[in-house]
Homo-oligomer: A and B are copies of this chain.
Amino acid sequence: MSFDRRAVYVISVAAQLAGVHPQTLRNYERTGLLDPSRTSGGSRRFSDADLERLRRIQELTNEGVNLEGVKRILELEVRLARAEEAVRELESQHQRDVADAHRQYRRDLVPVSNTVAIFVDRQRRT
């Protein structure tokens, strides 16, 4: 569930872990689908995040989507996840804010209809 953010896999290992030809990974980088970091010597190093993305790329290409399609789909999936997260966030915030509004009054308010006399001291108001 939690990833090591460091880029640790050389291309052959990354390729093996994803069941892909190493040259395929170079192709993906060239077309902008992946962006692994590099050592000072110029070798690629893939992170867990790169691998996760790579596996999603594999799923999509195996299902017949070409690279241009994969690129757009991944972007749309990110945007969709953000929007759905925003919906969940708004829904819970809605609950809280409405409940707070009620609580604020229930704490120290009394319905006028339930009182026989009220004397308001407006001077004391801030």
- Report the interface size for chain A: residues with CB under 8 A from the other chain: 44
Q: Within 8 Å of chain B (Cβ to Cβ): is A4?
A: no
Pick from B73, B91, B117: contact of A118, CB below 8 A. Answer: B117
Task: Count identical subunits in the complex.
Answer: 2
Q: Main SS of the interface on chain A?
A: helix
Complex interface: stretch among A13-21, A22-30, A42-50, A92-100 = A92-100
Cβ contact within 8 Å between B66 and A64 = yes
The answer to whether A3 has its CB under 8 Å from any CB of chain B is no
Interface string of A80-122 (1 = CB under 8 A from B): 1001101100110110011001100100111111111111111
A contact residues vs B (CB 8 Å cutoff): 60, 63-66, 68-70, 72-73, 76-77, 79-80, 83-84, 86-87, 90-91, 93-94, 97-98, 101-102, 105, 108-122, 124-125
